Amino acid sequence: MLSEEEIERYKRQIRIDKIGAEGQDKIKNSSVLIVGAGGLGSPILLYLTGIGVGKIGIVDNDILSLSNLTRQILYRTEDIGKKKVLIAKERLQALNPNVIIEAFPECLDATLAKNIFPSYDSIIDATDNFETRYLINRVAVEKEKPLFIGAVGRFTGQVMSVMPHKTSCYNCVFPEKDEETVREMSKRNEDLGVIGTIVGTIGSIVANEFIKHILNIGSHYFNKLLIIDLLNNDISAISISRDPRCRVCGNPQ
Amino acid sequence: MKVKVKLYGDYLRYGADENLLEVEENSSVNDLLNKLQISERHYIIVLVNMKRVWFEEKLKDNDTVSIFSPVGGG
Ligand SMILES: [Zn+2]
């Protein structure tokens, strides 16, 4: 049930016929773990907290630096040198005290992932490196957790949603290469640079995917890869399908 | 035979975003990439008619080939 304060706070979205008080209740009873509290994590966390998701977990071990401020809109110049998740928790709690914020100031490894993924309805991948992306995908598929993935580089962004063992997983589309190649890919991505506006665009779409999933409304990027190129204003959704040979969700020979 | 080639993101520097290309009968994905002068084989993702394929895959007349690579930043 929603309190009077909640009905007032959320009235503009409750007014949407596809949401209503019933939908708001579903949002309130939902939980999500967001891995990465950087560029993508910032808008995702701000929107999902504002919208009133019941419980939000954040995993990130980074300390805020000056060059983060072009796109990591949760933070301020005075926060430089502080742990991102701790500032994030404080700021999100101030935005919406109804939301339970759980902060994990740690690097995500397999042990932590397997420990904490089961406590959330869904997982959001907002990380900045391929090693962690493959890890998140593996554990999300293993624990049967819906996974919403955002990624950016330069003016380009990509989104895909994964329903484990039902739709294409991250590894079906981007099969994991050897360790050195994966490391090289992360490094190359860092060298690409990134513009804040694409991060905001992709973060909003990922947050929106989660909300629609919780409400069971609209269409989703399951079995689809969305590619947005804000330099050429090209927006395309490519249909993809499960790879029966996928080492994560298929039956490899 | 003709195939439709769609390039995304980084690969737009190898041609227009959508192109109808004449290729020899029995050409593979690999032959097509060579024809486009794309030598990179580590990160590239190729879909034929929206399905992920490998470099040896043979192309057919009227296939649609999509070429892109994953971005990974956050
Ligand atoms: Zn898979």
Q: How far is A143 from chain B (nearest CA, A)?
A: 23
When the pLDDT of each residue in chain A is averaged and rounded to a whole number, the result is 95
Check B9 against A227: CB less than 8 A apart. yes
Residue A206: inside a domain: yes
Which tens digit of pLDDT belongs to each residue from A41-95? 999 999 999 999 999 999 999 999 999 999 999 999 999 999 999 999 999 999 9
Residue A25: inside a domain: yes
Instruction: Give residues with Cβ within 8 angstroms of A209, minimum separation 6.
Output: A148, A159, A161, A220, A221
Residue B74: inside a domain: no
Q: Which of A39, A153, A243 sits opposite B72 (nearest CB)?
A: A153
Check A189 against B42: CB less than 8 A apart. no
In the three-class reduction of DSSP (H, G, I as helix; E, B as strand; rest coil), residue A222 is classed as strand
Cβ count near A220 (within 10 Å): 18
- The rounded Å distance from CA A171 to ligand 1 centre is 5
Q: Which of B6, B45, B71 sits opposite A173 (nearest CB)?
A: B45
From residue A184, alpha-carbon distances to A119, A129, B47 in Å are: 33, 10, 23
Instruction: Give contacts of B8 with chain A, Cβ < 8 Å.
Output: 227, 229, 234, 236
Residue A252: inside a domain: no
**pLDDT mean over A29-43:** 98
CA distance A182 to A58: 24
Looking at this protein, which amino acid is placed at residue A91?
R
CA distance A170 to A97: 34
Q: Following DSSP, what letter does each residue of B2-63 receive, concatenated? A: EEEEEE-GGGGGGS-SEEEEE--TT-BHHHHHHHTT----SS-EEEETTEE--TTPBP-TT-
Q: How far is B23 from chain A (nearest CA, A)?
A: 23
State whether residue A131 sits within 8 Å of chain B by CB. Answer: no
Instruction: Give contacts of B47 with chain A, Cβ < 8 Å.
Output: 238, 240
Residue B24: inside a domain: yes
Show the domain range for A119: 4-239
Q: Which of A126, A152, A227 sits opposite B68 (nearest CB)?
A: A227
Residue B27: inside a domain: yes
Cβ count near B69 (within 10 Å): 21
**In this structure, what token pair is assigned to residue A200?**
């905001």
Q: Binning pLDDT at 50, 70 and 90, where does residue A190 land?
A: confident
Residue A251: inside a domain: no
Tell me what pLDDT residue B9 has.
74
Tell me what pLDDT residue A253 has.
65
**Count of structural domains, chain B:** 1
State whether residue A222 sits within 8 Å of chain B by CB. Answer: no
**In this structure, what token pair is assigned to residue B41?**
């084989």
Supply the pTM of this predicted model: 0.92
Show the domain range for B10: 2-68
**Count of structural domains, chain A:** 1
User: The domain that contains B6 carries what CATH number?
Assistant: 3.10.20.30
Check A154 against B68: CB less than 8 A apart. no
Residue B55: inside a domain: yes
- The rounded Å distance from CA A127 to ligand 1 centre is 19
Looking at this protein, which amino acid is placed at residue A144?
E
Cβ count near B59 (within 10 Å): 22
Which tens digit of pLDDT belongs to each residue from B10-66? 788 899 889 999 999 999 999 999 999 999 887 788 999 878 888 999 999 999 999
Q: Which of A173, A177, A186 sits opposite B72 (nearest CB)?
A: A186
Which tens digit of pLDDT belongs to each residue from A137-180? 999 999 999 999 999 999 999 999 999 999 999 999 888 888 88
Check B12 against A151: CB less than 8 A apart. no
Portion of chain A with pLDDT greater than 90, in percent: 84
Looking at this protein, which amino acid is placed at residue A21?
A
Residue A19 has pLDDT above 70, yes or no: yes
User: The domain that contains A126 carries what CATH number?
Assistant: 3.40.50.720
Instruction: Give contacts of A172 with chain B, Cβ < 8 Å.
Output: 52
Residue A248: inside a domain: no
Residue-wise over A26-55: b if at least 16 C-beta within 10 A, else e? ebbebbbbbbbbbbbbbbbbbbbbbbbbbb
Residue of A nearest to B16 (CA): A232
Residue A150: inside a domain: yes
Tell me what pLDDT residue A234 has.
84
Torsion of CA A219, A227, A152, A247, to 10 degrees: 80
**In this structure, what token pair is assigned to residue A90?**
């404080």
State whether residue A154 sits within 8 Å of chain B by CB. Answer: yes
Q: Binning pLDDT at 50, 70 and 90, where does residue A188 land?
A: confident
Cα four-point dihedral sign A124, A65, A71, A132:
negative
**CA nearest to A8, candidates A52, A44, A42, A70:** A52
